[in-house]
Each structure stands twice: as C-alpha cells, then as structure tokens.
Amino acid sequence: MSVKPMVRIATAGSVDDGKSTLIGRIMLNSQAIMEDHLRSATTTSESGSSIDLARFTDGLKSEREQGITIDVAYKYFSTEHRKFILADTPGHEQYTRNMATGASTADAVIILIDAEKGVTTQTRRHTAISSLLNIPRILFTVNKMDIVGYGEDQFLKISEDISTLARQLKLKNWQTIPISARDDVNITKSATEQSWFDGPPLMEVIDQILPREEPKSGLKYSVQYVTKTPDKRRGLAGKVFSDSIGVGDRIKIYPGFQEATVAEAYQADTHVDRLTEGEVGTIVLDREIDCDRGSVLIPEDSEESPPPVFWESTVIWFSQEPLRKNQRYILRHRESEIGTSVVAIDGKLDLNDFSRKAGNDLELNDIGHLRLELHKPLFATSFESSRSFGSFILIDPKSNETVGAGFFTAPVDEHQTQVDSTTWHYSEDEAYLKKIKQSNVGNALLLLQSRGLPEESSLNWWLEHLAEQKFTVLTNIPRLLDFKSPQINWSKATSERDPGEVQKGGGI
C-alpha cells in the first residue's frame, strides 16, 4: 500500500470572503468532522436544519462572537490520493502577520474573492505575499456565486482583474474557479447552475497538487544543540535539510570552515550508518571542534564562500512602530539569533501596480525592499534557493516583539553599500577594520596605523559605530593615531565609559 503524500494548503483573501465556510464545506464533504462537532454546528428551525460551516474552524470564543478569523486554524482531511493540512488564515488587514505565517509553508494557496466585491486591496496584498513566498500553485476561487445568480458576466469581469493581477506579479501557475461554498456548488462535482464553466471542480484540482520540493544543493545539516552521546562523547544534534550524512563522510563546519570526519551517527540512542533528508539525529565528529547551535555541516568539497555581510531582503512589516533606516533588530534565522542593522530602504511595494515606490520607512503591513547588515556570520541563502535557509524574522530588542518577516534575495557586494546618506566605497583598510570590529578596536587601530588611514568620513563612522558597541574605551584613539579630525565626535566616542572597561579592548 503506497503512502499518500502530505500537501499543505492555505486559504487567504479579504474578510468575509468565506474562507472558514469553504474549509468547513471541504471537511464536511471529505467526512473529516466528528459527529459531536457536527451536532454543535447544526441548528434546527421550522424551515429545516442548517449547518454553520465556519464553526468548524473558528475555535476562539472571540472568533465565534465576531464571526471573523483571528488566529491561524489548522485542519486535516484526506482524499483518495492525498493527505492535507489546511490552514485557515485571517482576512483582516490587522492580522496580515498571521496570514503570512499560515502561508509560509504552503504548497498551494486558495485565495477567495467575493463575487459581489471582486478583487480588493487585501486580495492584492495576499496575492503579493503568496508570490513572495514562492508558493507553487495559486487557486483564485470566486465564492458566493449564488448571490450574483451564478452570472457568467460577473465571473468573467473578475477573471479579467485576476489576469491583470497575475500578469503584474508574473505568476506562473494559477487558475480561477467559481464556487458557492455555502451551497456546495462546484466544490466536489461540476455544477448545473454554472453550465457555462467547463473547468474541473475545486476538489478535483486540489487532489492533483503535489508537495513542493526544495532545490537540491548538497548536504545541509543544521546543528540545533550540542549534547552527549550514550558513551559520553560530544554530539551535534540536528536535522538533515538536504542530501544525507553518514559515518566516514568528510565535512566542514560553516561559517568557520573547520574540516572533520563523521565518526558516529545516532537516532535517539541507536547507532545508524546514515541520516537522510528530513531526519533528525546526532552526529559525532572524529575530533573536537568549536561548533554550537546555528552551525551548519556541509560537504568538504563545497565551494561555499565566506558569509556575506550585506543582504538585499524583502520584509513584511508587522509592527505599529515603523521601520526606519539605521535601526537595529534581532534577526532570527533557523537556530541562530544575531544582530542586524537596516543599512538602506530601497523602496516598498505599491499594491496598485506592484511597482517599487520610494519610502523612508515601512509602516504596518507594508512590504519593503531593504539592505541589511548582519553583525555575525550566518549560513544564509536566497529564499529562491532554499526556503529553510532564506527566510527570517525580525525582533525588536527592547520589547522582544516580532516586528517583521523577511526573505533574503541576494548578497550585496561588500565594496559598495549605503552608509548614512552617501555611497560608501570600501578601501582595503576599511575592509580589514570591518573584519576586526567584532573582536577589539585596539588591533583595528594598530592595523590602521601600519596600513595608513582611510578617508576621514569613513573613519568617523567606524569609530562611532565601535563606540556604540562598547568594545573598548576610546580615549587613547587620538594619541595612537596621531590624528585629531574635527569630524570625529570624540566626546561621543569616549563618553559613558566605566574606567574598568579600559582592558576590554584587548589591544590598547
């Protein structure tokens, strides 16, 4: 007996487009509802009995009282060929973050459109997010066709708007289906009410969807924590995200690039020869290497380059407090948390025509294009190359609130990026200073003495940046450099320092 593939589907669209009702209908038709739940959703009157299909997904009390979806609800059903996880995501603009969360792992998305209202701003926003998430299949489902008398003209008008939307976003795999979730029209079988529509019903389309696969890119074993094996050896517990890893394999550890051989492999407390894609386990190396949570094991012959410092990124902003240039956040990427700075805002998405418009900040629900500086090495790839290693969230370090979700699009050449309002071209010396800044400023200054100083404006920025990080007391900078530029704010660089910090720099 063959194993059915698991497919993840998310619903999206504007508020009151009928997402919860459609999911209730799908579950009812696939016999995935327990009898007691069915009884609680059924009401009886003189005219007969009726089922409130939305009650099957609206689990929160506030959702039932308001008749809206707030949180993401996951439901499960199966067909003859597939097993499904169905995510009911909210349509309200203020809950866009929940929609992005629910759709982030989807193999397909059903975007519902009210047959009376047509394409709305929220329809466009959810379609744009689905496009950014590289969801392989988008099903535009025109619901409530019963309200417009199953009129072909209204459906064709909405279809034209959807075609324009798909063309603007360069969607590749999409289709439009007219339905009535409440009246079970064109859900599991073709409808006589819509004889003009010659396409398949919704469930027939859904039953053909396959799980999407990550691009094959060699071994990636992500370390989640360091543990002890049954024989008290140092083990690296983690998950295989691509390819496989086993005893005898030569690997190197990213980002340090130390090389080693896999000596043992475990699943739970059992020895195994190999761990394959998707499996979790523990790896023991043939020698002790500094490796901790967030490190990634890759093949020894992999041609990975040093981790990029700057990345072009796309971010969906979730916070009432706007994102602005030069602000700092915590970037959570898989098992790692590092600091990051917004170096530049290259624009934000205009939902009218999906062009990039200029902007100095990102406000709630904006989709923006940023350049980020990563404060520590990180094994990151473009989102197109890997969903697992190309996505991240941004956290406000003060409130610990998740304020944005983003995707890496491409590394930025380190020799040209934005600092403040001018284009900064790195000199060789500045690049050396960049590498040293995370250890101590003393060695960086000695390096500058031996190699010559960069231009004053760049040096000014670096010194203040280092001072803000409190790497060391900077009172000796003018003496060491014999360079007292009026552009350098020495008072800022030396203020608010405890005399006890003098030795922390390790070089002055």
pLDDT in tens, 221-243: 999 999 988 788 899 999 998 88
Pairing label, strands 280-285, 258-267: antiparallel
User: CATH 3.40.50.300 region(s) of the chain?
Assistant: 6-206
Give start and end residues of each alpha helix (H) in 170-254.
202-206
Tokens 């900077």 identify what position?
Answer: 474
DSSP secondary structure letters along 310-325: EEEEEEEE--SSPEET
Asked if pLDDT for residue 30 goes beyond 70, the answer is yes
Tokens of 303: 């041609």
Long-range CB contact pairs, 479-487, < 8 A, 24+: 480/445, 480/446, 480/449, 480/508, 481/445, 481/448, 481/449, 481/453, 483/453, 485/456, 485/459, 485/460, 487/456, 487/457, 487/460
Cross-strand pairs, 276: 244
pLDDT at 223: 93
pLDDT band at 219 (very low <50, low <70, confident <90, very high): confident
Q: Is the pLDDT of residue 478 over 60?
A: no
Examine the pLDDT at 495 and tell me if it is beyond 80.
no
Give 378-433 pLDDT, tens digit per residue.
889 899 888 889 999 999 999 999 999 999 999 987 554 544 333 333 334 444 44
Contact between residue 315 and residue 345 where contact means Cβ atoms under 8 Å apart: no
The alpha carbon torsion through 358, 359, 360, 365 (nearest 10 deg) reads -150
Q: CATH 2.40.30.10 region(s) of the chain?
A: 220-299, 310-417
Give helix then strand counts, H and E, for the chain.
Answer: 13, 28
H or E element at residue 112: strand 108-114
pLDDT digits (tens, 9 = 90+) for 245-265: 999 999 999 877 889 999 999
Rounded CA-CA distance 46/210 in Å is 45
Residue 52 reports pLDDT greater than 50: yes
The structure's pTM equals 0.73
Query: Top-level CATH class of 6-206?
Result: alpha beta
What would the mean pLDDT of 290-294 be, rounded to a whole number?
86
Band (pLDDT 50/70/90 cuts) for residue 96 is confident
Q: Is the pLDDT of residue 439 over 70?
A: no
DSSP-derived secondary structure for 208-230: T-----PPP-S-EEEEEEEEE-T
Q: Tell me the pLDDT tens digit for each residue of 115-158.
A: 999 999 999 999 999 999 999 999 999 999 999 999 999 999 99
Tell me, what's the pLDDT at 250? 95
CA angle 53, 72, 368 (to 5 degrees): 130
What whole-number distance in Å separates Cα of residue 310 and Cα of residue 194? 53
Is the CB of residue 214 less than 8 Å from the CB of residue 249? Answer: no
What does the mean pLDDT of the chain come to? 79
Structure confidence at residue 62 (pLDDT): 46
Q: With respect to CATH, is domain 310-417 assigned 3.40.250.10?
A: no
Question: Given a cut of 60, is residue 86 above it in pLDDT?
Answer: yes
Residue 180 has pLDDT above 70, yes or no: yes
- The answer to whether 168 touches 7, Cβ cutoff 8 Å, is no
Domain 220-299 has CATH 3.40.720.10: no
**200-235: b or e for each residue (b if 16 or more CB lie within 10 Å)?**
bbbbbbbeebeebeeeeeebbbbbbeeeebeeeeeb
Q: Report CA-CA distances (Å) from 251 to 219, 268, 312, 468.
A: 9, 22, 29, 38
- Does 325 have pLDDT greater than 80? yes
Q: What is the mean pLDDT of residues 101-114?
A: 93
> Tokens in use for 94?
């203020």
The mean pLDDT of 199-210, rounded to a whole number, is 93
Contact between 365 and 306 (Cβ < 8 Å): no
Q: Please check the confidence at residue 454 and state whether its pLDDT lies above 90.
A: no
Please tell me the predicted confidence (pLDDT) of residue 369: 94
Residue 340 has pLDDT above 60, yes or no: yes
β-strand pairing of 108-114 with 137-143 = parallel
